[in-house]
């Protein structure tokens, strides 16, 4: 019997749809959106529904890719299993209310980098890693003119670059070491205090770049994230037993751009597809401690 899925949001929500459309045992039920004023002529138009109808939906799985400030209300409106983009929640109170959903396997956060083949290798040698640095750089907000006004306003976008990129780094660290250890230091900065949106100047309130230093059982872990970089890359550098290695990945595809390890030169194209399958599997159960720890650390760093 074919099961159904829905997505909330037209941005990354449509990416979720493109990936789910590859599974013959699932069919699209609805795409929930807020704004119907800029619809193009598309076969998907028949699936668009107002987001207010989400609570009345009956999809087996719903992917939440809306503005972060609305994640909590959308998550708690769904009847079936929920796969939510980060940041998941905006307060400890919200986290406590959804923790039971996580524990029961009804809710998971979309951290696709956990399934990348490189992480399986790093996890296997984690006991020998002395220090590691993860740099997540993206150029999608490099210009002072922005197409995403909401990403720069704290009332809508939550943690800025930390929410866009930094939490992925936290998930990578947690996947490798099984813990986030202690936060030694963190800093978040706004690169452009004023941006232009459709000819209008807006005062920016959310971080564009950031840095977090962690200590995990004596290991030094540094993560940096920049959504205004000149080029897109996810760089991992680590030392193990005196040996130093580095791998640079394409943050959009996961392909290896450069590497000191021959074993990582080839990455299966279906690595993200396999992650989707693991999330929608009936036997899927979230690692509750992992999911909650990442959410708590995000809230701690943003002082929420």
The whole-angstrom separation of Cα 7 and Cα 13 is 5
Domains contained in the chain, CATH given: 3-109 (3.40.50.720), 113-267 (3.30.360.10)
The pLDDT value recorded for residue 143 is 94
In this structure, what token pair is assigned to residue 160?
């800025």
What's the Cα-to-Cα distance from 233 to each of 99, 113, 248, 279, 290, rounded to whole Å?
32, 13, 6, 25, 25
The pLDDT value recorded for residue 66 is 87
Write the pLDDT tens digit of every residue in 44-97: 889 999 999 999 999 999 999 988 889 999 999 998 999 999 888 889 999 999
In this structure, what token pair is assigned to residue 204?
């920016």
pLDDT tens, position by position, for the chain (304 residues)? 789 999 998 888 999 999 999 999 999 999 999 888 777 778 888 999 999 999 999 999 999 998 888 999 999 999 899 999 988 888 999 999 998 888 888 898 999 999 999 999 999 999 999 999 999 999 999 999 999 999 999 888 767 999 999 999 999 999 999 999 999 999 999 999 999 999 999 999 999 999 999 999 999 999 999 999 999 999 999 999 889 999 999 998 999 999 998 765 578 878 888 889 888 886 665 566 788 899 999 999 987 5
Residue pair 156/9 in contact by the 8 Å Cβ criterion? no
The whole-angstrom separation of Cα 226 and Cα 135 is 8
- Beta carbons within 8 Å of 41's beta carbon, 6+ residues apart: none
The pLDDT value recorded for residue 245 is 95
What's the Cα-to-Cα distance from 148 to each of 15, 24, 57, 151, 234, rounded to whole Å?
18, 34, 28, 6, 22
Query: Could you tell me which of 270, 282, 272, 269 has the C-alpha nearest to residue 25?
Result: 282
């Amino acid at each position: 019997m074919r099961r159904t899925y829905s997505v909330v949001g037209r941005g990354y929500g449509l990416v979720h749809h493109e990936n789910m459309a590859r599974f013959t045992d699932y069919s699209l039920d609805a795409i929930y959106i807020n704004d119907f004023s800029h619809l193009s002529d598309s076969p998907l138009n028949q699936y668009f529904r107002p987001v207010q109808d989400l609570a009345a939906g009956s999809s087996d799985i719903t992917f939440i890719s809306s503005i972060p400030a609305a994640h909590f209300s959308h998550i708690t409106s769904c009847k079936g299993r929920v796969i939510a983009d980060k940041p998941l929640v905006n307060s400890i109170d919200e986290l406590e209310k959804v923790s039971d959903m996580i524990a029961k396997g009804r809710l998971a956060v979309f951290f696709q980098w956990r399934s990348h083949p490189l992480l399986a290798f790093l996890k296997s040698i984690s006991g020998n890693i002395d220090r590691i640095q993860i740099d997540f750089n993206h150029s999608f907000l490099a210009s002072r003119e922005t197409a995403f006004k909401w990403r720069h306003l704290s009332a809508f976008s939550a943690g800025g670059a930390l929410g866009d990129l930094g939490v992925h780094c936290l998930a990578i660290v947690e996947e490798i070491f099984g813990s986030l250890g202690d936060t030694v230091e963190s800093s978040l900065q706004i690169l452009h205090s004023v941006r232009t949106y459709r000819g209008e100047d807006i005062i920016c309130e959310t971080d564009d770049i950031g840095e977090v230093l962690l200590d995990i059982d004596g290991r030094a872990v540094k993560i940096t994230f920049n959504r205004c970089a000149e080029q897109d890359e996810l760089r991992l550098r680590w030392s193990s037993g005196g040996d130093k290695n580095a791998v640079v990945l394409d943050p959009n595809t996961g392909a290896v751009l450069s590497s000191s390890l021959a074993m990582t030169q080839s990455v299966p194209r279906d690595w993200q597809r396999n992650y989707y399958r693991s999330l929608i599997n009936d036997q899927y159960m979230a690692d509750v401690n992992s999911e909650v720890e990442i959410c708590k650390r995000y809230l701690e760093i943003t002082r929420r």
